[in-house]
Amino acid sequence: MMNFKGTLLIVILIFALSCKNKSVVEEKPLARVHNKFLYKSEMKSLFNSTISKEDSIVVARNYINDWIKKQLLVQKAELNLNEESKDIEKQIEDYRSSLLIFKYKQELIKQKLDTVITSEEIENYYNEYSGNFILNFNIVKALYLKISKEAPGIDKIKRWYKSTDAEDLSRLEDYCYQYATKYDDFNNSWIPFNNLLIEIPTNIGDQERYLKYNTYIETEDDLYYYFVKINEFSLKSTIQPLEYAKSKIKSILLNKRKFTFLEELENSVYNDALNHNEFVIY
């Protein structure tokens, strides 16, 4: 086995010297497996000006080892596979064709597909297929507070967080920015009720019943008070609110539009070629 450390130090030196001296004509191989050789020019892309000498050695050693393993496996395959199994030209051509078509379609989608899905389109789809959007768990819109027991004015918090008065909510916000460990309305978005319950030291067995008959959760542990105000809720096995289903519907509509676009593209290419006698069916 070759002395990797010595060889790789030479590799690094060669790279450094080659930057100064472009007149080197003949490359010396870094590794050989039977009649296959690995040259430093094949490794240039692995290195940049920021990589350290130590890291360069590790990268080069790994690359050389991987290259050797690959060559050994290729030669084993050549020796042990029959001629039919080794005939992979058609597979390579099929893969190349599929890859080219895929890249061409993706480029056309990027350039020409209208990706704007209007609110009207989303609402129409929701109204027509609302039965496809059933909740698997309870969701809520909520305000959540976690406040240290050492914070002042807890009685005021108990009043403010339940209030709908704009001035009280403003006082609550100012207070929480100063004293609250957590103060979150989750951007007024729907969240799974379980995600909220993880944050507070309480055990609610029948979530559906609790949500139907309770708007507030107040609890505590040794260090903190916890306050939750449930602004809205939607129960498991009911139809998702439009706002909650919106992103999924948008994705569905966009995928349908992509499918239609690509189908029209294929038909257009076919018909255009047919009109110009670019192919013949015998």
Contact (CB, 8 A) for 2 and 31: yes
Q: Beta strands of 121-223 (E only): which ranges?
A: 139-148, 180-184, 191-192, 216-220
* DSSP codes of every residue in 220-244: E-SSEEEEEEEEEEE-TTSBPPHHH
The C-alpha atoms of residue 174 and residue 157 are separated, in whole angstroms, by 11
Q: Which helix (H) or strand (E) holds 38?
A: strand 36-38
Q: What pTM does this model have?
A: 0.67
Q: What is the pLDDT of residue 229?
A: 96
Domain range summary for the chain, segments of one domain joined by +: 4-86, 91-132+242-282, 135-234
Once rounded to an integer, what is the mean pLDDT over residues 68-86? 83
Q: Residues 196-239: pLDDT tens digits?
A: 999 999 989 899 999 999 999 999 999 999 999 999 999 999 99
Task: Kindly state the tokens that stand for 103.
Answer: 């890249």
Q: What is the pLDDT of residue 24?
A: 45
pLDDT at 19 over 60: no
Q: What is the pLDDT of residue 42?
A: 80
Per-residue confidence at 136, pLDDT binned at 50, 70, 90? Answer: very high
Task: Kindly state the tokens that stand for 29.
Answer: 């191989």
Rg of the chain's alpha carbons, rounded to an integer? 33
pLDDT at 29 over 70: yes
Helix axes 4-20, 53-80, angle to 10 degrees: 110
Beta carbons within 10 angstroms of residue 190's beta carbon:
19
Q: What is the pLDDT of residue 93?
A: 87
Q: What is the pLDDT of residue 121?
A: 96
Q: Residues 151-164: pLDDT tens digits?
A: 999 999 999 999 99
pLDDT at 3 over 60: no
Cβ-in-10-Å burial (0-12, 13-18, 19+) of 154 comes to middle
Once rounded to an integer, what is the mean pLDDT over residues 53-61? 82
Closest CA to 210 of 190, 226, 196: 196
Q: Residues 238-264: pLDDT tens digits?
A: 999 999 999 999 999 999 999 999 999
CATH topology of domain 135-234: Chitinase A; domain 3 (3.10.50)
The C-alpha atoms of residue 30 and residue 40 are separated, in whole angstroms, by 7
Q: Residues 87-107: pLDDT tens digits?
A: 788 888 889 999 999 999 999
| Proportion of the chain above pLDDT 90, given as a percent | 62
pLDDT at 169 over 90: yes
Q: Which of 51-65, 131-145, 202-216 has the lowest mean pLDDT?
A: 51-65
- Kindly provide the b/e burial profile for residues 61-97, where b requires at least 16 CB atoms within 10 angstroms of the residue's own CB: eebbeebbeebeeeeeeeeeeeeeeeeeeeeeeeeee
The C-alpha atoms of residue 184 and residue 144 are separated, in whole angstroms, by 5
Per-residue confidence at 18, pLDDT binned at 50, 70, 90? Answer: low
Question: Coil, strand or helix: which one is 32?
Answer: strand
The C-alpha atoms of residue 223 and residue 148 are separated, in whole angstroms, by 6
Q: Beta strands of 105-190 (E only): which ranges?
A: 139-148, 180-184
